[in-house]
Amino acid sequence: MKSADQLGSATIGQGMNRMSGFLKFGSFLALLFFPALAMAAGGAETQAMSVEYRDVPGIGSRNLIWIVAQQHLLLAGFVLGVPIFAWVCEVVGWKTKEPRYDKLAKEFTKLLTSAYATTALFGGILLFLLIGLYPKLMAYLTDMFFPSFLVYCLLFLLETATLYMYWYGWDYMQGNKKTFHLFLGFLLNLFALGIMAVPNSWATFQASPVVLGEGDAWARAWMAMQNPTWMPVNIHRLIANVVLGGFIVGAYAGIRYLLAVSREEREHYDWMGYVGNFIGVFGMLPLPFAGYWLMREVYQYNQQMGITLMGGFLAWLFILQAMLIGVLFLGANYYFWMGITYRIPGSENQYKKPVMAMLIVLLLCLGIWMTPHSLVASLAEAQKMGGTHHPLLGVFGVMSAKMTVSNIMILVTFMSFIMYWRAGKQETAGWAKAAKAIMGGLLVIAGIAVVVLGVWGYFVPAIIRINYFSVAQVLIVLFIMITFTPLTAVLMKSAKTTTEMVWGKMPIRAGYSLVLNAVMVILLMSLMGYARSSSRVHWHIYGVMRDTSEYAYSPALGYAAAFMSLNTFVFCLIVAFIFWVATLGDKAKAQPPRGSTVGIPGHSAPAMAGGAPRAGEKLE
Amino acid sequence: MAKQSFAKSILKKTTVGIVVGVILVVAAQATHFPPVFQIMFFLYAMLGSLVFILLDAPPMNRLEGVKAVGALVVFYLLLSGLYIAGASILPQFDPEDEKGKIEKVLKLRRAQTELGKADELIARAKQLDERAKAITKQLSSLGADAKVEVASTTSAAGGGAASGDLVALGKEQWELQECYNCHKLYGQGGKKRGPEMDNIGNLMTFEQLKEKIIDPKSWKAEGFDKDYEKGKMPDKYKDLMFPQEIDALVAFLVTLKDTSVNTPKPIKMN
């Protein structure tokens, strides 16, 4: 099924066991206490199996699986991303004694209970559909991974129990018990990590199966799990889930901001949008590195698969990906720049020129990122051009150029944040001037070093470039981020506020830019799911089990894009429903009376707070 | 006043965007970029100018209630429409190509009669081979060494219709099973995981090659100890391929006798 397993298999894994907790608990007990019975039944079933595929009239089995699997995957990303977001907010609230962070964390944890059930519901539907529509593949995977199913069930039980304690114990575990509550949040994320990693192994095995050695069922399942793309996908998805969580929170805040009728609401959702965007952006910064590692593993595992993705029939997909990422970077930076203009009045003139320069750099980088290595051209066009590599722009198509521009885009985005942080403040420390000069110097050196390494990369063997130059570029950017953040924090601690942060004054296009960022992330996740599944071409399990169904071929890009848009729309509707249901109870509560204190994060709050008005400050 | 100034800003930035776009298109035409890229360059310049315009745009009036929701839906539809249009404008691969390849792969499995054909070809090839050997032996006994080669060449040519088909089928299997991912041949393909194959026909017999494909642990290529230990060559082919397909692949491999390529020496392992 490039078909089912196509997009589905990306999620076969995750879908497989996301039945309701109750059903799983029953299955788990049955398997635990009657293993012999379960195995025997499995054996008989395999023998009796004669149907390889079933179809669904009209929509087709692949399309149905595609929709359900995509919904399940996106919801799973949401359910795994939001706890990270909530926990980070809770930790920040605990450290800074800012109650609004705790409130924000609780507000989003509340969503988890309904989102969790919806995710499990789609997981259950996906599982039933896969068993029914692709029985042969499912029998094979079950045979290979059965022990990991048990581990998955156990993790799901632990996750469910921890979530209940985390959510229902929120108010109870305040004060002295707060640290235990934070520990529960940590456990929640730890189990969630396992819940993500185990099914990832099923899906990645389909793309990069390994030759299994001798051993019992557990040993063989473990060998199959440790396939070459498992860990890169784990890391990539973990980071992507943080990004998804952050930007969905941002989009929620953006929509509520657009619909807000009172000033208090606007202030609250403006701030929430800022926090969501902040976390989304910070998750986004290391994402290209993780993607690079994944592609490197793909190439090392199977050169043909890498070529299919980057230079074969899917090559244009990466142009589309570059556009989406470019728009996402532009959207995220734009939101920061608007924050400088509208939340910190008077700062816009100070930063107008740097903003213009940053925008030009971002656009140039985007242009290079979307330049393909070999241009898809007809024979006549290629002859005119002198080959499939363009004589001038062909140099931008290689990884050396891509890595360089992605690092620069990350640097620019980081600097947008630093600018936002510093806007409206005057440093008072005696060493501030020297510190700023050092930071400026370091930034210039870092920029030059990244470009020099990128250019030098053309003249050294690929192995040197990949193992040393690309790593050095990443380390340079990380060094800037790691040194600038605490240095700026120390500078801002003693800084004098020249312009107070004003919340709720952002123009409505700020709300739309938050929605845009979320849509871009969802489309990106859908696109990458399509890429990863299509890279297996007509295999259920690459090189091992062929897809012999009528849907074995890869759908064309335009058709796939329409499906991705549909999936994104459906997902947004589901999330909107979840938010609506979860906030039904709040609607009954009265709005805070005018003149009451609001818990907007304080002046001394960390970067994430965005330098808000002092806590307890009265709103007029 | 603000509106007038914004209108001026739009006009100015749009003009700059168009000028930059046109310059890009002309440059792209001059350097023979395919038309789709010329369009992309222009759209790229317009995207830049849109962001510049939005940077200075004055705040719009707030929408409320249904209007606000409607605006959001329109915004999503706009994004969606741009995305689908963008993906559709890009050159599309034709799924029919892949369908053709799949059909080729599955042909044997779907039509058992094809198997009979392969069987017949193998039998004929073996028969001709034995006949050639017999003639060679006969000529040798007569002391006509010089003619042996001619005889065996004639024999091979005589069997061309049959063994040639088999070799072609084998070459097709080389492509379909994607052996080139790990083995270099005719200067193409990978060679990190497996040896170059150009001279394998001089180093291994039909039966030995067949054994290696069915049981990868049975032979090791000299210098590939680590890959052998790691089991880089998959043991899936005995399950994945019909015996006739393996025979055809082997029949192709034994024809590879390019001594100018240093194919590593095979070592029998078990």
Residue B114 inside a domain? The answer is no
Mean pLDDT of B236-244: 80
| pLDDT confidence of residue A601 | 44
Q: What is the pLDDT of residue A543?
A: 83
Distance from CA of A168 to the nearest CA of B (A): 33
- The kind and range of the H/E element at A157 are helix A135-168
Q: Is residue A446 part of a domain?
A: no
Confidence band of B118 (pLDDT split at 50, 70, 90): low
Tokens, residue A208 = 């990069």
How far is the C-alpha of A410 from the C-alpha of A474, rounded, in Å? 10
Neighbouring residues of B46: CB distance < 8 A, sequence distance ≥ 6: B17, B18, B21
Element housing B266 (H / E): strand B266-268
Chain B touched by A580 (CB under 8 Å): no
* Token duo for residue B251: 């029949």
Whether the CB of A154 is below 8 Å from some CB of chain B: the reply is no
CA B125 to chain A, closest CA, distance in angstroms equals 29
Please check whether residue B97 lies inside any domain of the structure.
Answer: no
Q: Residue A551, SS3?
A: coil
pLDDT for the residue numbered A459: 83
Q: Which helix (H) or strand (E) holds B226?
A: helix B225-229
| B34·A375 Cβ contact <8 A | yes
Separation CA A370–CA A331 (nearest Å): 17
Average pLDDT, chain A: 82
Q: Is residue A2 part of a domain?
A: no
| B90 with A569: Cβ contact below 8 A | no
Instruction: Please give the Cα distance from A270 to A507 (Å, whole number).
Output: 10
Mean pLDDT of A280-302: 83
Mean pLDDT of A611-617: 41
**Tokens of residue B173, six digits:** 């299997």
Q: Give the model's pLDDT for residue A129.
A: 95
Is the Cβ pair B102, A261 closer than 8 Å?
no
Identity of the residue in B31, B44, B181 whose CB atom sits nearest the CB atom of A390 = B31
Q: Is there a domain that residue B106 lies in?
A: no
pLDDT at residue A15, as a whole number: 40
A87: alpha, beta or left? (left if phi > 0; alpha if psi -120 to 50): alpha
| pLDDT of amino acid A305 | 79
- A259, A320, A558 member nearest B68 (Cβ): A259
Closest CA to A243 of A331, A362, A306: A331
Q: Which residues of A touch B79 (CB under 8 A)?
A: 516, 519
Chain B CB contacts of A324 under 8 Å are: 83
Residue A307: what pLDDT?
73
Residue A7 is predicted with a pLDDT of 40
pLDDT, mean of residues A45-72: 83
For residue A547, list chain B residues with Cβ-Cβ distance below 8 A.
102
Number of domains in chain B: 2
Binding-face residues of B in 122-161 toward A, CB within 8 A: none
Whole-complex ipTM? 0.75
Q: B267 vs chain A: nearest CA distance in angstroms? A: 21
Q: Do B55 and A258 touch (CB under 8 A)?
A: no
Residues of A in contact with B58 (CB under 8 A): 507
Contact criterion met (CB < 8 Å) for B98 and A537: yes
- Interface check B228 vs A, CB under 8 A: no
Rounded Cα distance, A420 and A277, in Å: 13
Distance CA A362, CA A353 (A): 14
pLDDT of residue A112: 85
In this model, does residue B269 exceed pLDDT 80? yes
C-alpha B211/C-alpha B227 separation (Å) is 18
* DSSP letter string, A116-129: HHHHHHHHHHHHHH
Taking CA atoms, what residue in A is nearest to B190? Answer: A303
| DSSP character at residue A216 | -
Render pLDDT for A104-135 as a digit per residue (tens, 0 to 9).
Answer: 899 888 888 888 889 999 999 999 999 999 99
Residue A490 CB-density burial (10 A; 0-12 exposed, 13-18 middle, 19+ buried)? middle
| Measured CA angle at A456 (ends A451, A461), to 5 deg | 135
Q: Which residue has the tokens 């930007």?
A: A247
What value, to the nearest 5°, has the Cα angle with vertex B192 and ends B189 and B194? Answer: 80
Q: What is the mean pLDDT of chain B?
A: 79
- Of the three residues B39, B58, B89, the one that is the final residue of a domain is B89
In a domain, B63, yes or no: yes
* Least reliable range by pLDDT among A2-6, A587-591, B70-74: A2-6
Q: Report the pLDDT value the prediction gives residue B87, as an integer from 0 to 100.
A: 87
As a whole number of angstroms, the distance between CA A439 and CA A427 comes to 14
Nearest by CB to residue A384, choosing from B32, B95, B102, is: B32
Q: Compute φ and ψ for B57, nearest 5 degrees.
A: -65, 140
Q: Is A531 on the interface with B (CB under 8 A)?
A: no
Residue with tokens 């397993």: A5
Whether A473 is covered by a domain: the verdict is no
Could you give the CA distance from residue B240 to residue A425 in angstroms, rounded to a whole number?
Answer: 68
Q: A 203-232 residues with CB below 8 A of B?
A: 211, 213
Split into its structural domains, chain A has a count of: 1
B107 within a domain of the structure (yes/no) = no
Give the pLDDT of residue A3: 42
Left, alpha or beta for A386 (phi > 0: left; psi -120 to 50: alpha)? left
Confidence at residue A535, expressed as pLDDT on a 0 to 100 scale: 86
Assigned domain for B12 exists: yes
Same domain, B48 and B174: no
In the block, tokens 């050169």 appear at A303
Strand partners, B220: B267
Q: Which domain holds residue A574?
A: 61-209+229-424+499-599
Task: Region of A616 please: left (phi>0), alpha (psi -120 to 50) or beta.
Answer: left
Enter the pTM of the model.
Answer: 0.75
A410 contacts: CB under 8 Å, gap ≥ 6: A285, A288, A477
CB contact under 8 A, B231 and A211: yes
DSSP letter string, B9-67 = HHHHHHHHHHHHHHHHHHHHHHTT--HHHHHHHHHHHHHHHHHHHHHHPPPPPPP-HHH
Q: What residues form DSSP beta bridges with A546? A: A539
- Please tell me the distance in Å from B204's CA to the nearest CA on chain A: 25
Within-domain flag for A612: no
List chain A residues with CB under 8 Å of B62. 258, 508
**What's the CATH code of the domain at B165?**
1.10.760.10
Distance between CA atoms of residues A204 and A105, nearest Å: 33
The mean pLDDT of A575-591, rounded to a whole number, is: 75
Q: Per the CB < 8 Å rule, is B32 touching A543?
A: no
Rounded average pLDDT over A370-393: 65
Residue A192: CB partners within 8 Å, gap ≥ 6?
A79, A80, A83, A84, A159
Three-state secondary structure call for residue B142: coil
Lookup result for tokens 């409607």: B70
Quick one: B80 and B196 in the same domain? Answer: no
Is some CB atom of chain B closer than 8 A to the CB atom of A502?
no
Does B73 fall in a domain? yes
For residue B102, is it within any domain? Answer: no
Residues B39 and B135 in one domain: no
Q: Do A562 and B72 touch (CB under 8 A)?
A: no
Is A236 inside any structural domain?
yes
Q: Which pLDDT does position A483 carry in this prediction?
A: 92
Higher pLDDT, A380 or A355: A355
User: Which of B76, B83, B174, B184 should we substitute to test contact with A (largest number of A Cβ atoms within 10 Å)?
Assistant: B83
Task: With respect to residue A23, please indicate whether it lies within any of the assigned structural domains.
Answer: no
Please list every residue in chain B whose beta carbon sits closer than 8 Å to the beta carbon of residue A330: 51
Which residue, among A596, A289, A605, has the nearest Cα to A421 in the 3D structure? A605
Please say if the pLDDT value at position A464 is more than 60: yes
Helix (H) or strand (E) holding B219: strand B219-221
Which structural domain, as residue segments, surrounds residue B177? Answer: 129-268
pLDDT at B34: 77
Q: Is residue A9 part of a domain?
A: no
Query: Which residues 321-380 of chain A have a CB within 8 Å of chain B?
Result: 323-324, 330, 334, 337, 342, 355, 359, 363, 366-367, 370, 375-378
| Domain co-membership, B182 together with B67 | no
State the Cα–Cα distance between residues A362 and A189, nearest whole angstrom.
34
CA gap A522, A357 in Å, rounded: 29
pLDDT tens, residue by residue, A220-264: 999 999 999 999 999 999 999 999 989 998 999 999 898 888 888
Where does the pLDDT of residue B164 fall: very low under 50, low under 70, confident under 90, or very high at 90 and above? low
Q: What are the helix (H) ranges across A169-302?
A: 178-207, 217-225, 230-259, 263-284, 287-301
pLDDT for the residue B2? 62
Range 8-37 of A in CB contact (< 8 A) with B: none
In angstroms, rounded to a whole number, what is the distance separating the alpha carbons of residues A477 and A474?
5
Domain assignment present for residue A391? The answer is yes
